[in-house]
């Protein structure tokens, strides 16, 4: 049952303003909500409660153990932190209970494995394809491609053509990105790419082909931590040690589905009929759902309509648990994860999850596990979409694993577990008009003391990994209590002359983009009801380009590499 953490279900009794601390209600016990709660606790703030519809915490970063004893994440989760705060949090909760893994990623094309990053290993492709890719790359980068320059590109599709050229676009970038995003790249903006895009070094690409050099993106500098036991979710599960469950007097309320929020009365109503008043609301539920379906009271149609324009994709996470090919052999090879641009399999990515820790299967010597990710949207239906036929998707994945050379003939007989999780909201699409929507909706909410943050709360894919989202929660609390600006979501969009570093992360002077809006020292005063200023979406060219980056830790490399091509280190 959803009750306020002070035990009261009576709005007027719990209504804050009567006590010293305004009441902070947090919807969502995923990394964003947990980060916010963790920071509140750390600052000694007590008048807050976190509610989640699920019986567990962690949100999309939760892990499950299936009946056969395999541990599964909701898609391959790789932790690359950008923040010392996040690292300290991990150290505090996990101690030395983690593994350190080399990141070893590959692309499956033309019945072979091409090492990652793709553009540096073109020599692995059949010769005519390698020629097409190189020739297209050279044309694109010398202004002779289909699209004159990245700066001239109107969307992500044109950006691909401008930066990578026709060959790489046709064989890898376009098919791969459609598989990931379930939206045509022309529907997406080019700004989200930001620092993720590879600065293509033509000379390097050429040299590797001519001299037959290998140029892999992994090595000692490219490692990632993973919880020793319990999968990705173990780290987030441990936040209950800090936050405590409501039944024991703590802050976490599970099985508490929010049904409606009255913006005028400032009260949240739950599925069980209970009501929780708030002074400040932090929400990590999808922004479109919040605005379109959950908010009640004086919500202008313009706001609801704007939020309805946000696009997202859904995803099937399909876990295949297998007996090892040879007894005692464990996982058959050392790959971390693999990308699949071709049409012979439904997934865009497969993770060798059993390589991340020896405890992901019932017995490391005799089992291994593969985790496939399949996207879905109205533009990209999956098998049996009408009735959401999970079995059909799982079966298509098994066939796809065979087609892609991951399962040998006859090896399907070794499958001992088939697991599937359907995420209705999997990827927030950085659509062409996303920033326009955010600049309308987010300030309107904030003027009513509703702070929407997180992967689908802020809808900024570019800052929606676990470290970013946890820090969105932390930074929001710092803003509310300490009057510090948020920096992770504080993003100003700008294009460099060549358009390659298109999104910069920096403080902006307006509400909704992370900057403090309230007077210094004002802390969490109730909102004025004004519609705040809009987020400025800048697209003008800036001489010298962007320099600032999100977080305070040098990026190890990108974590969730939907773009498919990254800059290797070194
Ligand atoms: C396929 C996939 C791969 C990923 N890979 C990586 C990776 O490699 N590395 C990485 O760092 N991150 C990765 N992520 C991102 C990571 O999972 C997210 O950053 C993180 O989970 C987002 O946290 P959040 O709290 O913003 O949102 P969520 O985790 O979505 O949490 C939101 C919470 O709100 C709750 N909620 C929603 N509606 C209601 C309601 N009406 N009432 C009550 N509660 C509600 C939900 O139950 C949920 O628990 C990946 C995500 C996906 C889907």
Q: Which atom of ligand 1 has the smallest separation from the CA of 455?
A: 26
- Provide the 3-class DSSP secondary structure of residue 267: strand
Q: Which atom of ligand 1 has the smallest separation from the CA of 29?
A: 49
Pocket lining: 315 vs ligand 1, CB cutoff 6 Å: yes
> Mean pLDDT by 10-residue block, N- to C-terminus, for the chain (570 residues)?
34 43 97 98 98 98 98 94 94 97 93 89 95 95 87 92 94 96 96 62 89 77 91 98 97 98 98 98 98 96 97 98 85 90 97 97 96 96 73 96 94 97 97 92 94 97 94 97 88 38 34 36 36 28 38 52 46
pLDDT for residue 506: 37
* Contact between residue 222 and residue 249 where contact means Cβ atoms under 8 Å apart: no
Pocket lining: 373 vs ligand 1, CB cutoff 6 Å: yes
CA of 21 to the centre of ligand 1 (A): 28
Name 18's Cβ contacts closer than 8 Å, sequence gap at least 6: none
Q: What is the largest CA-CA distance in the chain?
A: 76
pLDDT for residue 518: 38
pLDDT for residue 387: 62
Domain spanning 312-428: CATH superfamily: Protoporphyrinogen oxidase, mitochondrial; domain 2 (3.90.660.20)
Q: Which atom of ligand 1 has the smallest separation from the CA of 28?
A: 34
Residue 151 is encoded by which pair of tokens? 């700066």
Pocket lining: 165 vs ligand 1, CB cutoff 6 Å: no
pLDDT for residue 194: 61
- Over the Cα atoms of the chain, what is R_g? 24
DSSP per-residue string spanning 453-497: -STTTT--GGG-SHHHHHHHHHHHHHHHHH-PPP-SS-EEE-B-T
Q: Which atom of ligand 1 has the smallest separation from the CA of 35?
A: 25
Report CA-CA distances (Å) from 242 to 39, 40, 93: 10, 11, 9
- The model carries a pTM of 0.88
Q: Which of 453, 456, 446 is nearest to 423 (CA)?
A: 456
pLDDT for residue 201: 80
Q: Which of 278, 289, 358, 258 is nearest to 21 (CA)?
A: 278
pLDDT for residue 272: 98
Pocket lining: 426 vs ligand 1, CB cutoff 6 Å: yes
pLDDT tens string 333-345: 899 999 999 999 9
CA of 238 to the centre of ligand 1 (A): 16
pLDDT for residue 423: 97
Counting beta carbons within 10 angstroms of the beta carbon of residue 210, is it exposed (0 to 12), middle (13 to 18) or buried (19 or more)? Answer: exposed
Pocket lining: 466 vs ligand 1, CB cutoff 6 Å: yes
pLDDT for residue 503: 36
- Provide the 3-class DSSP secondary structure of residue 421: strand
Question: What are phi and psi for residue 191, nearest 5 degrees?
Answer: -75, -25
CA of 455 to the centre of ligand 1 (A): 6
Name 269's Cβ contacts closer than 8 Å, sequence gap at least 6: 258, 259, 260, 261, 262, 275
Which residue lies with its CA nearest to atom 38 of ligand 1?
Answer: 285
Pocket lining: 295 vs ligand 1, CB cutoff 6 Å: no
How far is it, in rounded angstroms, from Cα 268 to Cα 274?
8
pLDDT for residue 533: 28
Mutate to test the pocket of ligand 1, among 62, 77, 313 (most ligand atoms within 8 A of CB): 77
Measured in Å, how far apart are the chain's first and last C-alpha atoms?
53
CA of 62 to the centre of ligand 1 (A): 8
Counting beta carbons within 10 angstroms of the beta carbon of residue 32, is it exposed (0 to 12), middle (13 to 18) or buried (19 or more)? Answer: buried
pLDDT tens string 102-114: 889 999 999 999 9
Pocket lining: 77 vs ligand 1, CB cutoff 6 Å: yes
Distance of CA 253 to the CA centre of its chain: 24
Which residue lies with its CA nearest to atom 53 of ligand 1?
Answer: 426
Pocket lining: 469 vs ligand 1, CB cutoff 6 Å: yes
Pocket lining: 74 vs ligand 1, CB cutoff 6 Å: yes
Q: Which atom of ligand 1 has the smallest separation from the CA of 464?
A: 19
pLDDT for residue 333: 87
CA of 464 to the centre of ligand 1 (A): 9
- Provide the 3-class DSSP secondary structure of residue 560: coil
Mutate to test the pocket of ligand 1, among 30, 105, 423 (most ligand atoms within 8 A of CB): 30
Which residue lies with its CA nearest to atom 48 of ligand 1?
Answer: 59
pLDDT for residue 199: 52
Q: Which atom of ligand 1 has the smallest separation from the CA of 270?
A: 42
- Provide the 3-class DSSP secondary structure of residue 211: helix
* Contact between residue 225 and residue 87 where contact means Cβ atoms under 8 Å apart: no
pLDDT for residue 80: 83
Helices 466-482 and 31-42 meet at what angle, rounded to 10? 40
Residue 317 is encoded by which pair of tokens? 């996470």
Q: Which atom of ligand 1 has the smallest separation from the CA of 32?
A: 25
| C-beta neighbour count of 81 within 10 angstroms | 25
Pocket lining: 560 vs ligand 1, CB cutoff 6 Å: yes
pLDDT for residue 388: 73
Give domain 11-59+233-309+432-487's CATH number out of 1.10.10.10, 3.90.1150.10, 3.50.50.60, 3.30.70.580: 3.50.50.60
How far is it, in rounded angstroms, from Cα 86 to Cα 471?
7
Pocket lining: 35 vs ligand 1, CB cutoff 6 Å: no
Domain ranges of the chain: 11-59+233-309+432-487, 112-211, 312-428
Which residue lies with its CA nearest to atom 10 of ligand 1?
Answer: 465
Long-range pairs, 3-6, Cβ under 8 A, ≥24: 3/246, 3/253, 3/274, 3/276, 4/49, 4/276, 4/277, 5/47, 5/48, 5/49, 5/246, 5/249, 5/250, 5/251, 5/253, 6/47
Question: What are phi and psi for residue 522, nearest 5 degrees?
Answer: -75, -20
Q: Which of 351, 319, 317 is nearest to 334 (CA)?
A: 351
Pocket lining: 31 vs ligand 1, CB cutoff 6 Å: yes
């Amino acid at each position: 049952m959803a009750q306020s953490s002070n035990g009261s279900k009576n709005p007027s009794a719990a209504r804050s303003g009567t006590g010293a601390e305004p009441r902070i209600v947090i919807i969502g016990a995923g990394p964003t909500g947990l980060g916010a709660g963790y920071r509140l606790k750390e600052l000694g703030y007590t008048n807050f409660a976190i509610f989640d519809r699920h019986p567990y915490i962690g949100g999309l970063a939760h892990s499950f153990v299936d009946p056969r004893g395999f541990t599964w994440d909701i898609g391959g989760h790789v932790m690359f932190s950008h923040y010392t705060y996040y690292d300290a949090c991990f150290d505090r909760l996990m101690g030395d209970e983690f593994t350190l893994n080399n990141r070893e990623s590959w692309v499956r094309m033309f019945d072979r494995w091409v090492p990652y990053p793709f553009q540096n290993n073109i020599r692995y492709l059949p010769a005519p394809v390698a020629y097409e890719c190189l020739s297209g790359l050279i044309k694109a980068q010398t202004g002779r491609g289909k699209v004159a320059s990245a700066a001239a590109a109107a969307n992500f599709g044109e950006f691909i053509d401008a930066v990578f050229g026709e060959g790489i676009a046709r064989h890898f970038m376009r098919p791969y990105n459609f598989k990931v995003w379930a939206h045509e790249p022309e529907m997406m903006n080019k700004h989200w790419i930001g620092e993720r895009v590879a600065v293509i070094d033509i000379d390097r690409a050429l040299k590797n082909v001519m001299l037959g050099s290998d140029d892999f993106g992994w090595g000692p500098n490219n490692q990632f931590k993973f919880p020793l036991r319990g999968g990705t979710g173990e780290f987030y599960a441990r936040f209950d040690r800090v936050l405590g469950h409501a039944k024991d007097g703590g802050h976490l309320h599970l099985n508490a589905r929010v049904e409606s929020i009255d913006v005028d009365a400032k009260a949240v109503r739950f599925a069980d009929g209970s009501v929780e008043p708030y002074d400040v609301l932090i929400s990590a539920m999808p922004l479109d759902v919040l605005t379109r379906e959950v908010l009640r009271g004086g919500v202008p149609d313009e706001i609801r309509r704007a939020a309805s324009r946000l696009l997202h994709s859904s995803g099937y996470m399909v876990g295949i648990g297998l007996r090892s090919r040879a007894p005692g052999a464990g996982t058959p090879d050392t790959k971390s994860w693999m990308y699949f641009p071709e049409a012979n399999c439904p997934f865009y990515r497969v993770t060798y999850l059993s390589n991340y820790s020896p405890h992901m299967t019932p017995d490391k010597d005799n089992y291994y596990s593969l985790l496939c990710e399949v996207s879905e949207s109205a533009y990209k239906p999956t098998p049996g979409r009408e009735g959401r036929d999970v079995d059909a998707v799982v079966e298509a994945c098994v066939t796809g694993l065979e087609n892609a050379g991951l399962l040998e003939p006859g090896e399907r007989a070794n499958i001992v577990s088939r697991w599937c999780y359907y995420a209705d909201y999997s990827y927030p699409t950085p659509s062409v008009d996303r920033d326009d929507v955010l600049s309308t909706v987010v300030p309107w909410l904030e003027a009513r003391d509703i702070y929407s943050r997180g992967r689908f709360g802020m809808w900024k894919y570019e800052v929606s990994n676990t470290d970013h989202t946890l820090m969105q929660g932390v930074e929001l609390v710092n803003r509310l209590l300490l009057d510090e600006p948020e920096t992770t979501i504080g993003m100003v969009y700008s294009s460099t002359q060549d358009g390659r570093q298109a999104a910069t992360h920096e403080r902006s002077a307006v509400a909704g983009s992370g900057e403090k809006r309230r007077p210094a020292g004002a802390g969490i005063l109730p909102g004025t009801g004004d519609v705040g200023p809009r987020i400025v979406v800048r697209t003008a060219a800036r001489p010298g380009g962007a320099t600032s980056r999100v977080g305070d830790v040098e990026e190890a490399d990108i974590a969730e590499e939907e773009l498919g091509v990254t800059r290797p280190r070194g």
